[in-house]
């Protein structure tokens, strides 16, 4: 596609349920990033992928959070046993990766609300 | 490790005036890139400008320029001739280029409000 696509755009879930957030990066982009943005806050790094590998998972808040990427393309962020503090916008970005100053392109985000 | 610091939570500027948004960084990487993004109230993240650590000239993109002072580890964004549409959150970010590292780290942002 022309840009980074995230689905769903909005998700309301009950506390304790699992959710899956999907990111389709720009074709050919080897680097893929997940961020969390709480209301009025900055971007909190979660994880990034280079190809299908995740060199840095340091931002994942707890073992309830996991992510995978397949085919150097689609990535899924899974949150198990959701809690109210997980409510936020989850942003995905992709870039050409490697060295160089290529900017990251962002999707529109998934707004997650845990009730 | 990388760290980006934006010390101005909020800034006001009058229309048509210039404004500088501060950004300092810390990194152990010898080679890195610095980015600025704009996030309007709609929530989208818009790339504005990029500066490489070995670039000799300060980057410029239209009304945006990056005041890069490597020794001070600062990468301030200058917006000239502010417009009402510039009102948004602005984020500074950096990416180190060592080995396989490609992590993109963001600062906490500065909320800019342009007034008539």
Question: In DSSP terms, which residues pair with A28 in a beta bridge?
Answer: none
Phi, psi of B52 (to 5 degrees): -90, 150
Tens of pLDDT, residue by residue over A28-47, are 999 999 999 999 889 999 99
A39 in Cβ contact with A96 (< 8 Å): no
- Give the minimum alpha-carbon distance from B89 to chain A in angstroms, rounded to a whole number: 9
- The pLDDT value recorded for residue A102 is 78
CB contact at 8 A, A106 and A6? no
Give me the tens of pLDDT residue by residue for chain B, a chain 116 residues long. Answer: 789 999 999 999 999 999 999 999 999 888 899 999 999 999 999 999 999 999 889 999 999 999 999 999 999 999 999 999 999 999 999 988 775 457 889 999 999 999 99
SS3 B93: strand
Quote the minimal CA–CA distance from B45 to chain A in Å. 6
Q: Which of A25, A42, A97, A111 to mutate to test the interface with B (most CBs of B within 10 A)?
A: A42
Residues of A in Cβ contact (< 8 Å) with B102: 31, 48, 50, 55, 95, 97-98
Query: Closest approach of chain A CAs to the CA of B84, in angstroms?
Result: 20
- In this prediction, residue B100 carries a pLDDT of 47
C-alpha A108/C-alpha A56 separation (Å) is 23
Cβ distance of B52 and A101 shorter than 8 Å: yes
Q: What is the pLDDT of residue B28?
A: 86
């Amino acid at each position: 596609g022309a840009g980074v696509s995230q689905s769903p755009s909005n998700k309301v879930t009950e506390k304790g349920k699992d959710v899956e957030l999907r990111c389709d990066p720009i074709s050919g982009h080897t680097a893929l990033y997940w961020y969390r943005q709480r209301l009025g806050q900055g971007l909190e790094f979660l994880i990034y992928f280079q190809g299908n590998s995740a060199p840095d998972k340091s931002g994942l808040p707890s073992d309830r959070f996991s992510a995978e990427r397949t085919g150097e393309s689609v990535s899924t962020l899974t949150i198990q046993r959701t809690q109210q503090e997980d409510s936020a916008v989850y942003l995905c970005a992709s870039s050409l990766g490697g060295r160089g100053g290529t900017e990251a392109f962002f999707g529109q985000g998934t707004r997650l609300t845990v009730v | 490790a990388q760290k980006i610091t934006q010390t101005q939570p909020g800034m006001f500027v009058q229309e048509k005036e210039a404004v500088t948004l501060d950004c300092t960084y810390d990194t152990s990487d010898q080679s890195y890139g610095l980015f600025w993004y704009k996030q309007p109230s709609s929530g989208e993240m818009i790339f504005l400008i990029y500066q490489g650590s070995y670039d000799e000239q300060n980057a410029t993109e239209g009304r945006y320029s990056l005041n890069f002072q490597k020794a001070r580890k600062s990468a301030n964004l200058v917006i000239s001739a502010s417009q009402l549409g510039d009102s948004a959150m602005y984020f500074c970010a950096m990416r180190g280029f060592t080995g396989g590292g490609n992590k993109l780290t963001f600062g906490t942002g500065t909320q800019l409000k342009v007034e008539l």
